[in-house]
Chain A
């Protein structure tokens, strides 16, 4: 069985501080980590591999620095890695990366299962999983917490409302894994050296994928950042209980606390 896991990379939040007062982010140390939710997805794939015969392939598209993320994924247990990068791919947006990943997955071919993290921590982007499923024409289950396979049928526990649902789906299929669904394993001591020194990451450029700069033109325009209101100490709310309650709830929502 072949399982493919797309990997994304984000700026390590331990390397920067956010200052609402200056409306700026101060980067102390520019380092990148695997998007935590994608590690949850990789863990689902690797635990399926532990339970039976499976080959786990990781794939990433965008900037050349993704090489690092793919090697870490191999150290965690992935069997092979594909990196889609060149000057054009490095400059595209999330939609362009999705297009590249879809072409890359098609080119790898013969997959039974694709496992994707539901969203990215840096931009709350939750588009990739279902978008790929539509592109590849496969069944899809979202909000996944656990998965197991028997007789070619995938059994999945997914988030559903305030509870959960148990569902079955035939392969090939795509799962998007809920954030925090599991505790991803650490890179395996014996694999780390090999993953960083010996094993190959196969690299494809946009031409290999049949993509041109026009195909990858960004469909969105960045408009900067917004910051929560600065903390003000000792504000008093006055008025009727209904008025102060409404004001309080609005403030908490505005600050994204609830």
Chain B
């Protein structure tokens, strides 16, 4: 047989072995922290990773940069099967180059099959950079993750045009590792199970010659959110006389803050003196068109309805099951707003 032909056959065989992605195992979650706390999207990713892992027959590995043992334990309580902790002092505060080097080296050695990053400040910068470094790609801002079991690939849902619909995209089977960034709030938080126990492995990182190239001058932790005019607001939480007293109205303000929305009121709330007249929704007040309108303790007389009928999604909380607002609401809750609102704030995890 011709020797060239034989070599060609052997060459081909090698390529096939590479394409199977052998050696790429487990689902990795890159933990993101703000100071000494894990940011919520990290916990949400652990939740989703657990579900994928049981379908895939894989472990959930978490990697924590610059944190400590106690924070690594938290990752285990929330669902990690093992935590790789890089506690090098150079990783205490986020800087792109050392973080990318630490993760790049770790992933090159451990060969993860799937890697999840949070689509927050840090994950959004790091994930595409690492994807390029590892010769792969990343699908960003995912709000849904499922598996195509037949070809063992991730199927990702990404919001299109701000969520009008979603694009569903799968990785090609030859892509390893499959990397995604996960949009905060897309998945629920897992149960914190203090009975879970697992190993924390401290990993040394080689940061020789790696210098941060971006110098942080100062950080402003919180900016006062500028109030958005009601007619342009995306989320409005509105109070009516049914909130009972100023204390009840304060709950409405709290819910609006938790949702990042604006506070408004019906004529009743204005008459009670809880809110200024320019925040009144309805006839004689403002007409609003938010994506979400939550009416709390508002009966929904026609004068009010005319001011909010163009809201895309209406939620009403009212004690009176015959209140007209419940007939126009997309979701109606019959109950005491003073009990329901704190429960909603709790459920939002804020």
Contacts and interface: CB of A to CB of B under 8 A. Distances in A.
A134 B137 contact: no
Given A237-B331, A248-B344, A258-B235, A134 B133 contact: yes
Interface string B294-324: 0000000000000000001101000000000
Q: How large is the interface on A (under 10, 10 to 19, 20 to 34, 35 or more residues)?
A: 35 or more
A62 interface: no
A231 B214 CA distance: 47
Interface string A182-203: 0000000000000000000000
B209 interface: no
A237 B343 contact: no
A150 interface: no
A235 interface: yes
B234 to A, nearest CB: 9
Interface string A218-233: 1111111111100111
A238 B138 CA distance: 41
Contacts of B119: 126
A235 B346 CA distance: 22
A166 B218 contact: yes
Q: How large is the interface on B (under 10, 10 to 19, 20 to 34, 35 or more residues)?
A: 35 or more
Interface string A157-190: 0011111111111100100100000000000000
B121 interface: yes
The 4 closest A-B pairs by CB, nearest first: A245-B343, A256-B163, A139-B213, A130-B128
28 contacts: A94-B137, A122-B161, A122-B167, A125-B158, A130-B128, A135-B132, A142-B125, A162-B222, A163-B219, A163-B223, A165-B218, A166-B216, A166-B219, A168-B214, A219-B171, A220-B172, A221-B172, A222-B167, A234-B327, A234-B328, A236-B326, A241-B335, A241-B339, A244-B340, A245-B347, A246-B347, A248-B331, A250-B188
Interface of A: 13, 18, 20, 25, 94-95, 118-119, 121-131, 133-135, 139-143, 155, 159-170, 173, 176, 218-228, 231-238, 241-242, 244-246, 248-253, 255-258
Interface of B: 34, 96, 100, 119, 121, 124-133, 136-141, 143-144, 155, 157-172, 174-175, 181, 183, 185-186, 188, 213-223, 235, 259, 291-292, 312-313, 315, 326-336, 339-340, 342-344, 346-348
